Amino acid sequence: MCDTVLVIGAETLSRFVDWKDRATCVLFGDGAGAAILRAREEPGGVMASVLGSDGSGGELLILPGGGAKHPAGPDTVLSKMHYVRMNGREVYRFATRVMAEAAKTVVARAGWSLDQIDLFIPHQANVRIIESAVKALKLAPERVFVNLQDYGNTSAASIPIALCEAVDAGKVEPGDHVVLVGFGAGLTWAACAIQWTAVKPGAPTSRHRAATGRLRYIWAGFKALGWRLSRHIDAAVSKVIDAVERKTTEG
């Protein structure tokens, strides 16, 4: 068994969204987060977990192309099968149900009650989904961490990013009961109940970390904009070259 585990969630969803599909392109963002789990003699840490899946909803949130069923090729590219496709209404119905259920289940497995939750960190997918779960769990707003407005839905990175920011903001202290809940394509869901034991090291102050984090975020935005412009320019130049070649051939 390992004593120390590095858990990473990272996404570059901007590569897989159709920028002409307003149902998806305005929702997703790029991001990455990480956490280290270490075995200790003291009680605490991960107290309980829940994992679930429902393959019957696989078509509701999917990237169809590129797998064994639809290998990558000219047809899958032309059909836009390498972009995220989502049935927003059905995913919403699934998420509002499963997020609250998973949270209640993991809290019960940890031997806690809902009013013992000090901080609830949900997958940052949709404010309405989060509000629905919070209402079902009867949690006060100050016991819920939300940063969706800053990054959009960063998928696997959303909970690690939110957890890191919550720690930096001083919202998580040793002894706190923290509940993490996520869901995603598959359809899948998971939850984790943690009795926080980590003591914040002598690192830069939260204000300094927040400022440097914001600068990195802004710089990443500029770089992403540059790459996007580069792709558009490349596509435009390719169209011009194709038009010239066709004209030359016809002439």
3-state helix, strand, coil in the chain (%, to 5): 45, 20, 35
Total domains present in the chain: 2
pLDDT digits (tens, 9 = 90+) for 131-148: 999 999 999 999 999 999
Going by C-alpha positions, the residue among 11, 2, 105 that lies closest to residue 51 is 105
Are residues 119 and 233 located together in one domain of the fold? no
**Residue 201 DSSP symbol:** P
Last-in-domain residue among 165, 181, 203 = 203
Are residues 48 and 167 located together in one domain of the fold? yes
- pLDDT tens string for the chain (251 positions)? 789 999 999 999 888 889 888 888 888 999 999 999 998 888 899 999 999 999 999 899 988 898 888 889 888 888 888 888 989 899 999 999 999 999 999 999 999 999 999 999 999 999 999 999 999 999 999 999 999 999 999 999 999 999 999 999 999 999 999 999 999 999 999 999 999 998 876 555 556 666 777 788 788 888 888 888 888 888 888 888 888 878 777 76
Are residues 124 and 57 located together in one domain of the fold? yes
Last-in-domain residue among 187, 203, 219 = 203
Please state the φ and ψ torsions of residue 201, each to the nearest 5 degrees: -70, 170
Are residues 115 and 36 located together in one domain of the fold? yes
- Written as six digits, the tokens of 216 are 């990195």
CATH of the domain at 112: 3.40.47.10
Are residues 230 and 113 located together in one domain of the fold? no
Are residues 196 and 211 located together in one domain of the fold? no
Are residues 144 and 222 located together in one domain of the fold? no
Are residues 193 and 216 located together in one domain of the fold? no
Going by C-alpha positions, the residue among 189, 192, 191 that lies closest to residue 53 is 189
pLDDT digits (tens, 9 = 90+) for 215-235: 887 888 888 888 888 888 888
Domain range for 95:
4-203
Are residues 114 and 209 located together in one domain of the fold? no
Taken in order 46, 52, 58, 64, is the CA torsion positive or negative?
Answer: positive
Whether the full predicted model's pTM is greater than 0.75, yes or no, is yes
Last-in-domain residue among 203, 222, 240 = 203
Are residues 113 and 135 located together in one domain of the fold? yes
Are residues 130 and 213 located together in one domain of the fold? no
Are residues 171 and 231 located together in one domain of the fold? no
